[in-house]
Amino acid sequence: MNITQKIIKNHLVSGNMVAGEEISIRIDQTLTQDSTGTMAYLEFEAIGIPRVKTKKSVAYIDHNTLQSGFENADDHKYIQTVTKKHGIHFSRPGNGICHQVHLERFGVPGMTLLGSDSHTPTGGGIGMLAIGAGGMDVAVAMGGGAYYLTMPKVVKVNLTGKLNPWVAAKDIILEVLRRLSVKGGVGKVIEYVGEGVKSLTVPERATITNMGAELGATTSVFPSDETTRAFLKAQGREEDYTEILPDADATYDEELTIDLSTLAPMAAKPHMPDNVDTITNIGPIKVDQVAIGSCTNSSYMDMMKVARILKGNTVHEDVSLVIAPGSKQVLNMLSQNGALADMIAAGARILESACGPCIGMGQSPKTDAISLRTFNRNFEGRSGTVSAQVYLVSPEVAAISAIKGVLTDPRELDMSNIIDMPEKFLINDNMVVEPAPEGNDVEVVRGPNIKPFPVNVALPENLKGKSLIKVEDNITTDHIMPSNAKLLPYRSNVPYLSEYCLTPCDPEFPARAKENGGGFIIGGSNYGQGSSREHAALAPLYLGIKAVIVKSFARIHMANLINSGILPLVLENEADYDRIDMMDELAIDDVRTQLTSGNKIVVKNITKGIEIPTIINVSDRQKDMLLAGGLLNYTRENN
């Protein structure tokens, strides 16, 4: 068996381990962050289970730590009190980015981790089966419920050779993205094996698994080996180590080989993570901003490489350089060994240990800027500046380019890039709040911005409405439900957020949806890629969306639509996309009967007098969820 199969087998609750079939697995750990966490805990409360049943659940405050009004502080207090009451650990603001901290302090090889953040697969860097999901799925898992997924295909990525100096782990995942595309991982787990794995540290492996989310993959995973043991030992957690290797005769559904020695420093060009080319081919373009950090590249090792490049130099006068260490542990260690001073002396602006610019939370570039970022996504407008051109690069490329003022290949540096992994990390978990003992009465504090989340009703016999919007391929959850600095404080207020639903595509959409009493969304391929935020399903639900009809879906968003009781319909013939225009009157007759009798649903375009066949790729259990009007109704009915 391969690593993926071994972990799934050890956690299998129901189903057969056959690619394409629905299975359910037991979840050992969960994580949430404050952007998605408020909704997840509201949903957990609605389920009515008094105490989490996982081995460990952790709530992180890392996405919106900017408190420009009462809303964020109120949400943070709600999360702190609701988690204390229900048995969940609470990572306070300033303790760091959820994926970085979880890797350092809580992740355990061989365990399953479900997180309400799409980059939860970071945990695959130490051999976890770590999966991103919507908040409702995480709430159910916290209550002891199984997590349902389609048994994935497993792709073997055979790493050979060794990286040359100044070529980074970021370049490995950029190469995988270049080969497979942002849709290439859908329905798959990417499993890294081969001799090349041994040369990669845990932080480097975590960079690769983290950005595997951009492939659309279910998750990515590395072996748990002696390198993993050394990392856990340095974190004072050697007892958590378990060796997990693929069997010698393990089989895979697909395979590709990457010779690490042939890779060069690369960048993902605007506006998609798979638009990859070498730094040499892109050329020395002028740079206006450099941002280093995020859950992809904010480890101690990354930061030390950046500090080494910056030491004794000055950031170019035309460049704004910001750096966000990934955790309090990292920031503490940098401050103790002098590396932080080297960064500051060079002219870097140090941000707190949080997501920050990666999610558009501050540091928006100037108009038409070129911004180099060590992040995982460069979708148009995600930086907060629609006209900005964002390139995704390694920390090494980012640091040297900040000094030179132009995109620069770090291989021209005349110094060593070897940073030794610490034998012992600085360990201080004083910013993690323990939950109250079971049975203790804890008051849950709710601010006025926290509103009830919308709950659907049972699916009616017939659906009818207008095609309210028609969008192109690769629409992201940032398009569907923007999560910028102005809107993120309202993550607990779906009625308010709904006023901005799909406005990057069409500013009139919310008003049109309300005026017409809801209706249908029409989309292209890979609809809903990006963040796991279920607000991208809850806001359309609030606006009365009955079904989303597209060429294809991204995995997590499709699951969130089902959880909300919204029909996710895939065009049987992609050419039919051109047979639906905006404001066409659509109808689905006998929808309950159609849903229960097979996987095809006929959509009538009344305006054009035609029928359009669609496929609904859901399991029998998911059909029951849709009939009930979503996962919460289904859970209540079956408990």
pLDDT digits (tens, 9 = 90+) for 9-57: 999 999 999 999 999 999 999 999 998 899 999 999 988 899 999 999 9
pLDDT digits (tens, 9 = 90+) for 384-418: 888 999 999 999 999 999 999 999 999 999 898 88
Which one of 217, 240, 262 terminates a domain?
Answer: 262
For residues 234 and 288, state if they share a domain: no
Structure tokens at 90: 């609470």
- When the pLDDT of each residue in the chain is averaged and rounded to a whole number, the result is 95
Say yes or no to pLDDT of 485 above 90.
no
Chain-centroid distance of CA 596 in Å reads 32
For residues 187 and 335, state if they share a domain: no
The fraction of the chain above a pLDDT of 90, given in percent, is 88
Say yes or no to pLDDT of 440 above 90.
no
For residues 257 and 273, state if they share a domain: no
- For residue 211, being part of any structural domain is answered with yes
Structure tokens at 627: 């009939």
pLDDT digits (tens, 9 = 90+) for 310-320: 999 999 999 99
For 111, the enclosing helix (H) or strand (E) is none
Segments forming the whole domain that contains residue 8: 3-262
Measured distance CA(183)–CA(401) in Å, rounded: 30
Say yes or no to pLDDT of 511 above 90.
yes
For residues 248 and 294, state if they share a domain: no
For residues 123 and 256, state if they share a domain: yes
Domain of residue 109, CATH code: 3.30.499.10
For residues 208 and 300, state if they share a domain: no
Say yes or no to pLDDT of 71 above 90.
no
235 close to 104: Cβ distance less than 8 angstroms: yes
52 close to 142: Cβ distance less than 8 angstroms: yes
- For residue 553, being part of any structural domain is answered with yes
For 449, the enclosing helix (H) or strand (E) is none
Task: Write down the pLDDT at residue 155.
Answer: 98
For residues 620 and 507, state if they share a domain: yes
pLDDT digits (tens, 9 = 90+) for 313-360: 999 999 999 999 999 999 999 999 999 999 999 999 999 999 888 888
Measured distance CA(83)–CA(583) in Å, rounded: 45
- For residue 281, being part of any structural domain is answered with yes
Task: Write down the pLDDT at residue 416.
Answer: 87
Which one of 262, 297, 313 terminates a domain?
Answer: 262
Q: Could you give the number of structural domains in the chain?
A: 3
Say yes or no to pLDDT of 639 above 80.
no
- For residue 443, being part of any structural domain is answered with no
Residue 466 burial (CB count, 10 A): 20
3-state secondary structure at position 278: strand
For residues 183 and 319, state if they share a domain: no
> Which of left, alpha, beta for 468 (phi over 0: left; psi -120 to 50: alpha)?
alpha
Say yes or no to pLDDT of 553 above 90.
yes
Say yes or no to pLDDT of 439 above 80.
no
For residues 493 and 509, state if they share a domain: yes
pLDDT digits (tens, 9 = 90+) for 121-163: 999 999 999 999 999 999 999 999 999 999 999 999 999 999 9
Domain of residue 490, CATH code: 3.20.19.10
For residues 73 and 141, state if they share a domain: yes
For residues 512 and 392, state if they share a domain: no
Structure tokens at 467: 């095609």
210 close to 376: Cβ distance less than 8 angstroms: yes
| pTM score of the predicted model | 0.92
For residues 631 and 482, state if they share a domain: yes
Which residues, 6 or more positions from 554, have their beta carbon under 8 angstroms from its beta carbon? 186, 216, 526, 527, 528, 529, 530
359 close to 483: Cβ distance less than 8 angstroms: yes
- For residue 448, being part of any structural domain is answered with no
Say yes or no to pLDDT of 363 above 90.
no
Say yes or no to pLDDT of 517 above 90.
yes
Which one of 220, 241, 262 terminates a domain?
Answer: 262
